[in-house]
Structure 1
Amino acid sequence: MKRFDLSLYLILDPGLCRAHSMAETARLAAAGGATLVQLRDKSGGTEALIATGREIRAALSGSGVPLIVNDDVAAAQAIGAEGVHLGQSDMEVAEARARLGPDAIIGLSVTNEAMVRAVDPALVDYVGIGPVFPTATKQNHNAPIGFDGLARLVGLSPVPAVAIGGLKAQHVAAALASGAAGVAVVSAICGQPDPQQVSRELAAQLATHRAGGA
């Protein structure tokens, strides 16, 4: 299908991106080694999401880092984003694929075995598995599954998986050991004084563990 890298998956949160705007956070994170950026903003409507998304897409221009929009397929289309990430209660994956076409990146959140077994690799490009730990950045999330649960679900998934939910730098090794293709982070980058530096440190840890280092 299409080429994308789940290694360091940044989820932008408007509540945390105060020292830097979401666009500036995305730019700095990409410069530091973030490989994919998701815009997630539950507080605004589609028009606000489009305006912010266009700023972020401009900030990422030339970086090679794709922009994914959470939930809102119409906003993703208007922004010209590379794809969408859908929850279980969002638009059906088949409809999103029909609207966005074969080249779009489509991710899907999964939290249990039944959801993973229902994934159609003809429609879904990757899954987000979690939450691994409790997280304050998403309200009413499911019960944490831990790294044992992550490994079990990754092993069942027919598509690459990114681990999500309360993950920090110290969790990189365990996430990769569980079979995840990468880690999705929010507060580990958003709201940090230097998003570029913390992204660089996370990217370096990912590279070290992939190379078999400590």
Structure 2
Amino acid sequence: MNKKNVNYTLYLVTDRSFIKDKSLDKAVEEAILGGATLVQIREKDVDSLDFYKEALKVKGVCKKYDVPLIINDRVDIALAIDADGVHVGQSDLPCSIVRSILGAEKIIGVSTSNVEEALKAQEDGADYVGVGAVFPTTTKDDADSVTIEELSNIKKGLNIPVVAIGGISENNITKLKPANIDGVAVISAILGKENITKAAENLIHKLKIR
């Protein structure tokens, strides 16, 4: 995997609470078939063994379609399954420490909510930043609110990709266009839909509308 070629356009973040009768790996595959370009496993309420087993299954799917797999928070799980990278928040291990553990070839993303945090992440070696919440969200209670103007300022101030996250749906995704960001990260807008593939396709279509 060449980090410089990573496509951040439609970044799927997992949450099994939105999946009804499907396995996580099946849901991820359906999302990829609809156009998801990057996958992050974010499982807050499972034990380490369950996380590891699920991550291995999802890795198999991602490898099949040549889509990078990122692990949320858990550097140990990322190392155990040789994932493509890790995403950390402001209260997780510092980006610089994660980089020293994972090495130069792995992708590291950092959650940010303002220009200062984003610049610090870039300085510490992040490959991209996730910025949010850009809209109200129910999947992350502690997410700070970020205006479209602030999102745009972050994008202008950084040399690394910027991905918006938080409450993004097919109804509001086009509002992010003026910020000229590199991608959007979504959970319920894909996994919360009956037809996951179609939901991903709809988001990709909205992103292409000028």
Classify the TM-score, shorter chain. Answer: over 0.9
Matched residue, 1:26: 28
Matched residue, 2:70: 68
User: Which of 92, 95, 98 does residue 96 from structure 1 map onto?
Assistant: 98
Q: Mapping of 1:44-59 within 5 angstroms?
A: 44-59=46-61
User: Which of 71, 77, 87 does residue 79 from structure 2 map onto?
Assistant: 77
Cα-to-partner distance string for 1:12-60 (whole Å, 9 max, x where unaligned): 0021122322211110111110000110011123222111101111122
Contact preservation (8 Å) 2:95, 2:124: no
Matched residue, 1:107: 109
User: Which of 12, 37, 55 does residue 14 from structure 2 map onto?
Assistant: 12
**Structure 1 position 188, deviation (Å):** 0.4
Aligned length: 208
Structure 1 stretch 112-121 or stretch 66-75: which is displaced more?
112-121
Matched residue, 1:163: 164
How far apart, CA to CA, are the structure 1 residues paired with 2:44 and 2:64?
28
Matched residue, 1:193: 194
How far apart, CA to CA, are the structure 1 residues paired with 2:40 and 2:199?
17
TM-score by length of 2: 0.93
Percent of matched pairs sharing the same residue: 34
Contact preservation (8 Å) 1:46, 1:72: no
**Structure 1 position 66, deviation (Å):** 0.8
Q: What SS does the aligned partner of 1:34 have?
A: coil
How far apart, CA to CA, are the structure 1 residues paired with 2:103 and 2:48?
20
How far apart, CA to CA, are the structure 1 residues paired with 2:41 and 2:194?
20
Contact preservation (8 Å) 1:19, 1:193: no
Runs of 4+ aligned residues of structure 1 deviating over 4 Å after TM superposition are none
- C-alpha RMSD of matched pairs (Å): 1.5
Contact preservation (8 Å) 1:82, 1:104: yes
How far apart, CA to CA, are the structure 1 residues paired with 2:106 and 2:119?
22
How far apart, CA to CA, are the structure 2 residues paired with 1:92 and 1:45?
23
Aligned partner of 1:131: which letter? A
**Structure 1 position 140, deviation (Å):** 2.1
The unaligned stretches of length 5 or more in structure 2 are none
TM-score by length of 1: 0.91
How far apart, CA to CA, are the structure 2 residues paired with 1:10 and 1:107?
14
Matched residue, 1:149: 150
The unaligned stretches of length 5 or more in structure 1 are none
1 or 2, which has the higher helix percentage? 2
How far apart, CA to CA, are the structure 1 residues paired with 2:19 and 2:134?
23
Q: What SS does the aligned partner of 1:120 have?
A: helix
